[in-house]
C-alpha cells in the first residue's frame, strides 16, 4: 500500500497556463491556498457583520455609514432594522461556521500539508479535489447572493430552525428567497465537503510514503484524518436535511411542518411534519461540526508546540487516541442542544452523560500539552504564541461546557449569552488560534519568506487580550439571564448591564482590527518578507524536506522514505537537536 | 516575552474569576420551589469549573515563566510521572466529577420533568405566537374549549381559535395577555405553539421550555413569592423576537380568585 505511490508515474502533469495553474488547478497546494483565500473573504465579511451587530446592540439608533448601500430596506437612513440585525446574525454564523471554521483549519491547511506530510505527490483524486473547492466556492456565491436579493438574507439564525425556516414568506422578511438560498448554499457546501473528506481519507490510507506508518504520521495529519472521518458522516446527514428543507419550502412537502399552524393569519397548507426532526438532523451534524472546527487546530497546535518546545509531547499516542475518542463521542451528544426542545426528558440524561464524558479526553489533551511544556526550552515567536494561546482559550471555553452539559443548569442558561461566550471561545477563537499559528509557522514553507514577527506579535496580543475582554463578559451576562439573538435589550433588568455591553462592543471594534494587521503582514511578507532558510524552524516532518515553496510535484522525482517517528527533538544528531523523518541517520528514538 | 505572557495569563485568570467570587453577576432571586436545586448545581459546577479554569491558566503561566527564554542548550526535563500519571489523574478526577454531576446532579432536572403535576394543580394553557404570549384558563367548567386554527382571528381577539357557538367548553374560557397565578400553588402550564418555535423563559422561576408547533408540551412549577416577573421568548422566532415578552403576575390566592372572577364576567 505505502509503496504504491512511489511506483506510479506522476498523478498529473505540471500545470501550465493561467487557468490550470491558478484557477482550475489540480495541485493540492493551490487548492489549499484557494480554500484559505475563501476563508479569508468569509472571515472578514463575518467579522465586519459582527462589528455592525455589536454597534447596533449598544447604539440602536446609530447611523452606520454605508450600511444603506448594503440594504436599503434593512437599514433605511443607515439605521439597522430589527429584522436586518437577524439577517446579519444569520449570515455571520453561517459564514463563520461553514466557510471559515470548516474551510481554514481543515480544508485549507489539510489540503496543502496532508499530502506533503505523508510523502505523497498530491491528493488521491486531484480532480475531485479541484471540484470540492469550486463547489464550495459556488456554495459561497449562492449564500452571498442573499445579500443582494430584494428580500435580503434569512432571519432564522445559522441553525435555521423549522417551521420558521420552512414556511416561506409568511415567517417574515428574508424567509422567502433568502432562506432558500441558505438551504441551497449549505446543501452545495455539504456535497463539496463530502468529496473533500473522502479525498482526505483515501489519500491518508493509500498514498503514504514507504516507512510512513500510521503512527509515524504527524499529529496534524492525524487530526485532519480524524476530522475527515467525522465530516464524512456529519455532512452526509446535513445534505439530505437541507434537501428536505428545500422540498418543504418549494415542493409542498411537510417533513418539518406540522398541521394547523397559523402564520401571518394564514393556516399553513402543511400537515404531518415535525420541527424536532430538523433539530435532530441539524444537530446530528451540528455537534460533530464543533469538532470539525477544533480538531484540526488541536493537531496544528500540537505540531507547532512540539517544534517550539524542542522535545516531543509526553505521549503522541495519547493525543491521537484522545482525538479519536472526541470524534467518536461527538456523535452521541447532539441532543444536548435540545434539552429544552420538548424531546423526551429522559433522553436529556442519555445525552448529558456522553457530553460530560467528552471532558475526559479533552482534559487528557490539555494535561498532555501542559505537562509537556514542563522542562522544555520554549521558543517564543508568533506561531508558538498562538499555539500557547490556544491552550488557554481551549481551557476557558471548555470549562463553560461543563455547565451547559447538565440539563438542569441548561434550564437557566440555555439561549443566554453564556452559550454564546462558550462556543465563541472554544470553537471560534481557539480554532482560529490554530489557524493563525499554522499561518505563521507554515508561511515560510508556502512562500519561502518569513512573516514579520513584530506585526505577528502585535496581532497575537490584541487578539488574545481582546478575545478575553469580549467573550469572558458574555459568560457573566449569561449568568444574569441575558438572552441571545436580541437586537436590543428591552428587558427591564438589562439596563444596568448596558455599559458592560458597550465595553464588549469597544473591545470587539479594537480586536477586530487585529486580523487586518495580519492581512497586511501576509501581503507584505509575501513580496517583501525576509527570505527563510531551508530549515527555518529546525523541524522534522516531511514538509521541511522539500524546497520552499514546494515544486508542483512536491518531492520532485524523489520518493521519500521515512525512518523515524515524526517528533525526534531534543536529541543529539548531525544537524542539531532534531532528526528529519526521512533522514537515514541512526539515533536513539524519543517519545512513544 | 514568555514571562510577560505568564503575567498576562495570571491577570486574566484572576480578573476573570474576581467578578464571580465577588458575586457581581448574581442570579436573579429564585421564586420557585425547585429553583434552589438548579442554583445549587450551578454553584457547585462553578466551584469545580472555576478551580479547573484558574488552576490550568496558572500552571500554563508557571511553565511559561519557567521554560521560556532559557539558555540555548539548557537541559530538557520530563514531567514527573509522564503521560501515564496525567491520564490516570484525568480519568479519576474528571471521571468522578462526571459521575457526580451526571448522575447525582440530575435531581433538579428530575424535579421539573420526571414528576407529574399534582392533580389539583392550576391548569393554564400558554400560546406563543409571533410576537406575543396569551394565556388561557378553563373557566368555571374546568374544561378548555377546542382550538380551531382556521378560526384564529387576532382582530376579534380570538387568539386561540375558539368556537363558542358550537363548543360549550369554550364559552367560559378566560384569555389573558398576562400569566396570573396564585402564590404557593402548583401551576401546570400547557404550551401551544401557534406558528413557529418559541420559548417560555422566566429567570426567577428557573423555568425555560420551548414551544414546538404540533407538539403538546407542558411544565409545572410553584411560585413562592408574589410580584411581577418578565416572561421572555428565547427561541429565535422572527423580526420581533427581541420584543416578545409578557408578565408573570404572582398573587395571593384571594387576589387570584378575585382576578379570575373579574375576568369571567
CATH number, domain of A540, equals 1.20.210.10
pLDDT class of B52 with cuts at 50, 70, 90: very high
- CATH topology for B117-264 is Immunoglobulin-like (2.60.40)
Residue of A nearest to B230 (CA): A491
Pairing status of strand B122-129 against strand B186-193: parallel
CB A157 to CB B236 under 8 A?
yes
Please indicate, yes or no, if residue A418 is contained in any of the structural domains.
Answer: yes
A10 is a domain residue: no
| Alpha-carbon span A567 to A578, nearest angstrom | 8
* d(C-alpha A61, C-alpha A77), whole Å: 10
pLDDT of amino acid A45:
97
Which triple of cell numbers denotes residue A377?
A: 526550552
pTM for the full predicted model: 0.96
- The count of C-alpha atoms lying within 13 angstroms of the C-alpha of A215, restricted to the half-sphere facing its C-beta, is 8
pLDDT at A9: 58
A127, A196 contact by CB (below 8 A): no
* Pairwise CB contact (< 8 Å): B42 & A412: yes
B124-177 residue pLDDT tens: 999 999 999 999 999 999 999 999 999 999 899 999 999 999 999 999 999 999
CB contact under 8 Å between B38 and A412, yes or no, is yes
The partner residue sitting opposite B196, judged by closest CB among A263, A392, A402, is A263
Contact assessment for residue A401 and residue A426, using Cβ atoms and an 8 Å cutoff: yes
Give the helix ranges, DSSP H, for A269-373.
Answer: 275-309, 316-329, 345-357, 359-373
State what percent of residues in chain B have pLDDT above 70.
100
Q: In a 3-state reduction of DSSP, which class is residue A459? A: helix
How many whole angstroms separate alpha carbon A71 and alpha carbon A589?
62
CA A6, CA A550: separation in Å to the nearest integer?
18
Q: Is residue A553 part of a domain?
A: yes
Task: Read off φ and ψ for residue A538, nearest 5 degrees.
Answer: 50, 50
Chain A contact for B79, CB < 8 A?
A: yes
**Residue A66 lies in domain:** 26-259+269-578
Tell me, yes or no, whether A225 lies in a domain. yes
pLDDT in tens, chain A (592 residues): 444 444 455 778 887 888 888 999 999 999 999 999 999 999 999 999 999 999 999 999 999 988 999 999 999 999 999 999 999 999 999 999 999 999 999 999 999 999 999 999 999 999 999 999 999 999 999 999 999 999 899 999 999 999 999 999 999 988 999 999 999 999 999 999 999 999 999 999 999 999 999 999 999 999 999 999 999 999 999 999 999 999 999 999 999 999 999 999 999 999 999 999 999 999 999 999 999 999 999 999 999 999 999 999 999 999 999 999 999 999 999 999 999 999 999 999 999 999 999 999 999 999 999 999 999 999 999 999 999 999 999 999 999 999 999 999 999 999 999 999 999 999 999 999 999 999 999 999 999 999 999 999 999 999 999 999 999 999 999 999 999 999 988 777 888 999 999 999 999 999 999 999 999 999 999 999 999 998 999 999 999 999 999 999 999 989 999 999 999 999 999 989 999 999 999 988 888 8
Asked if B87 is an interface residue toward chain A (Cβ–Cβ < 8 A), one would say yes
Question: Is A6 within a domain?
Answer: no
- Which member of A352, A360, A380 has the closest CB to residue B68? A380
* Mean pLDDT of all residues in B113-126: 95
Q: Are A416 and A482 in contact (CB under 8 A)?
A: yes
| Residues of B (177-196) whose Cβ lies below 8 Å from A | 193-196
Determine, yes or no, domain membership for A312. Answer: yes
A156:B195 CB<8 A:
no
Residue that the C-alpha cell 432562506 belongs to: A179
- Does the distance separating the beta carbons of A82 and B242 come in below 8 Å? yes
Residue of B nearest to A397 (CA): B53
- Burial (CB count <10 Å: 0-12, 13-18, 19+), residue B20: middle
Strands B198-202 and A569-573 come out as: unpaired
Q: Given CB atoms, is B119 within the 8 Å cutoff of chain A?
A: no
Say whether B102 and A353 touch across the interface (CB within 8 A): yes
The cell numbers describing B67, all together, are 521554560
The total domain count for chain A is 1
Domain boundaries, chain B: 2-69+80-112, 117-264
Amino acid at each position: 500500500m505505502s509503496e504504491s505511490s512511489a511506483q506510479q508515474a506522476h498523478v498529473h502533469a505540471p500545470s501550465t497556463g493561467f487557468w490550470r495553474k491558478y484557477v482550475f488547478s489540480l495541485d493540492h497546494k493551490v487548492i489549499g491556498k484557494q480554500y484559505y483565500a475563501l476563508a479569508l473573504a468569509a472571515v472578514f465579511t463575518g467579522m465586519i457583520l459582527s462589528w455592525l451587530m455589536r454597534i447596533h446592540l449598544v447604539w440602536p439608533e446609530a447611523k452606520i455609514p454605508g450600511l444603506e448601500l448594503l440594504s436599503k430596506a434593512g437599514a433605511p437612513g443607515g439605521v439597522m432594522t430589527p429584522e436586518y440585525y437577524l439577517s446579519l446574525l444569520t449570515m455571520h454564523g453561517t459564514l463563520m461556521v461553514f466557510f471559515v471554521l470548516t474551510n481554514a483549519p481543515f480544508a485549507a491547511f489539510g489540503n496543502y500539508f496532508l499530502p506533503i506530510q505523508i510523502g505523497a505527490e498530491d491528493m488521491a483524486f486531484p480532480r475531485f479535489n479541484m471540484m470540492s473547492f469550486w463547489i464550495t466556492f459556488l456554495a459561497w456565491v449562492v449564500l452571498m447572493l442573499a445579500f443582494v436579493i430584494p428580500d435580503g438574507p434569512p432571519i432564522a439564525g445559522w441553525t435555521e430552525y423549522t417551521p420558521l425556516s420552512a414556511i416561506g414568506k409568511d415567517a417574515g422578511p428574508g424567509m422567502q428567497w433568502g432562506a432558500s438560498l441558505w438551504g441551497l448554499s449549505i446543501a452545495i457546501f455539504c456535497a463539496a465537503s463530502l468529496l473533500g473528506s473522502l479525498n482526505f481519507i483515501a489519500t491518508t490510507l493509500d498514498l503514504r510514503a514507504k516507512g510512513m506508518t500510521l503512527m509515524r504520521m504527524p499529529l496534524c495529519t492525524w487530526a485532519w484524518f480524524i476530522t475527515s472521518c467525522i465530516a464524512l458522516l456529519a455532512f452526509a446527514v446535513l445534505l439530505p436535511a437541507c434537501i428536505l428543507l428545500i422540498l418543504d419550502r418549494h415542493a409542498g412537502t411537510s417533513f418539518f411542518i406540522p398541521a394547523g399552524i397559523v402564520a401571518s393569519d394564514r393556516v399553513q397548507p402543511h400537515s404531518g411534519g415535525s420541527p424536532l426532526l430538523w433539530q435532530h438532523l441539524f444537530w446530528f451534524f451540528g455537534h460533530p461540526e464543533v469538532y470539525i472546527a477544533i480538531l484540526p487546530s488541536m493537531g496544528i497546535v500540537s505540531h507547532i508546540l512540539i517544534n517550539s518546545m524542542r522535545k516531543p509531547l509526553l505521549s503522541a499516542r495519547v493525543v491521537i487516541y484522545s482525538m479519536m475518542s472526541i470524534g467518536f463521542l461527538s456523535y452521541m451528544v447532539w441532543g444536548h442542544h435540545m434539552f429544552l426542545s420538548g424531546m423526551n426528558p429522559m433522553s436529556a440524561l442519555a445525552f448529558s452523560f456522553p457530553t460530560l464524558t467528552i471532558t475526559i479526553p479533552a482534559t487528557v489533551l490539555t494535561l498532555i500539552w501542559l505537562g509537556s511544556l514542563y522542562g522544555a526550552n520554549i521558543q517564543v515567536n508568533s506561531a508558538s504564541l498562538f499555539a500557547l494561546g490556544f491552550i488557554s482559550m481551549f481551557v476557558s471555553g471548555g470549562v463553560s461546557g461543563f455547565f451547559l452539559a447538565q440539563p438542569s443548569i441548561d434550564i437557566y442558561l440555555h439561549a443566554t449569552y453564556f452559550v454564546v461566550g462558550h462556543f465563541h471561545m472554544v470553537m471560534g477563537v481557539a480554532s482560529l488560534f490554530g489557524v493563525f499559528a499554522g499561518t505563521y509557522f507554515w508561511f515560510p514553507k508556502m512562500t519561502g519568506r518569513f512573516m514579520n514577527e513584530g506585526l505577528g506579535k502585535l496581532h497575537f496580543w490584541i487578539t488574545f487580550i481582546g478575545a478575553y475582554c469580549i467573550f469572558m463578559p458574555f459568560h457573566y451576562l449569561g449568568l444574569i439571564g441575558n438572552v441571545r439573538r436580541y437586537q436590543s435589550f428591552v428587558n427591564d433588568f438589562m439596563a444596568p448591564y448596558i455599559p458592560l455591553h458597550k465595553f464588549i462592543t469597544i473591545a470587539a471594534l479594537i480586536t477586530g482590527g487585529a486580523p487586518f494587521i495580519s492581512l497586511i503582514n501576509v501581503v507584505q511578507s509575501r513580496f517583501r518578507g525576509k527570505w527563510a532558510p531551508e530549515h527555518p524552524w529546525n523541524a522534522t516532518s516531511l514538509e521541511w524536506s522539500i524546497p520552499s515553496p514546494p515544486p508542483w510535484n512536491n518531492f520532485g522525482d524523489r520518493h521519500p522514505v521515512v525512518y523515524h517517528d515524526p517528533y525526534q527533538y531534543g536529541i543529539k544528531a548531525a544537524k542539531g537537536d532534531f532528526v528529519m523523518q526521512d533522514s537515514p541517520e541512526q539515533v536513539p528514538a524519543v517519545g512513544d | 516575552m514568555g514571562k510577560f505572557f505568564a503575567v498576562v495569563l495570571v491577570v486574566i485568570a484572576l480578573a476573570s474569576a474576581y467578578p464571580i467570587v465577588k458575586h457581581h453577576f448574581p442570579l436573579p432571586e429564585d421564586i420557585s420551589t425547585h429553583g434552589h436545586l438548579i442554583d445549587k448545581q450551578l454553584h457547585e459546577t462553578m466551584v469545580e469549573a472555576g478551580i479547573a479554569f484558574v488552576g490550568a491558566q496558572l500552571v500554563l503561566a508557571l511553565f511559561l515563566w519557567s521554560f521560556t527564554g532559557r539558555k540555548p542548550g539548557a537541559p530538557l526535563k520530563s514531567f514527573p510521572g509522564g503521560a501515564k500519571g496525567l491520564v490516570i489523574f484525568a480519568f479519576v478526577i474528571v471521571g468522578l466529577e462526571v459521575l457526580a454531576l451526571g448522575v447525582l446532579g440530575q435531581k433538579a432536572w428530575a424535579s421539573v420533568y420526571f414528576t407529574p403535576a399534582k392533580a389539583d394543580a392550576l391548569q393554564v394553557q400558554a400560546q406563543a405566537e409571533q410576537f406575543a404570549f396569551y394565556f388561557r384558563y378553563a373557566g368555571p367548567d374546568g374544561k378548555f374549549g377546542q382550538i380551531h386554527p382556521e378560526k384564529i382571528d387576532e382582530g376579534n381577539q380570538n387568539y386561540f381559535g375558539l368556537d363558542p357557538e358550537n363548543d360549550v367548553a369554550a364559552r367560559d374560557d378566560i384569555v389573558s395577555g398576562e400569566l396570573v397565578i396564585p402564590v404557593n400553588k402548583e401551576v401546570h402550564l400547557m404550551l401551544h405553539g401557534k406558528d413557529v418555535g418559541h420559548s417560555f423563559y422566566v429567570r426567577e422561576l428557573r423555568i425555560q421550555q420551548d414551544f414546538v408547533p404540533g407538539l403538546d408540551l407542558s411544565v409545572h412549577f410553584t411560585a413562592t413569592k408574589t410580584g411581577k416577573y418578565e416572561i421572555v421568548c428565547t427561541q429565535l422566532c422572527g423580526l420581533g423576537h427581541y420584543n416578545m415578552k409578557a408578565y408573570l403576575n404572582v398573587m395571593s390566592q384571594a387576589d387570584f380568585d378575585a382576578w379570575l372572577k373579574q375576568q369571567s364576567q
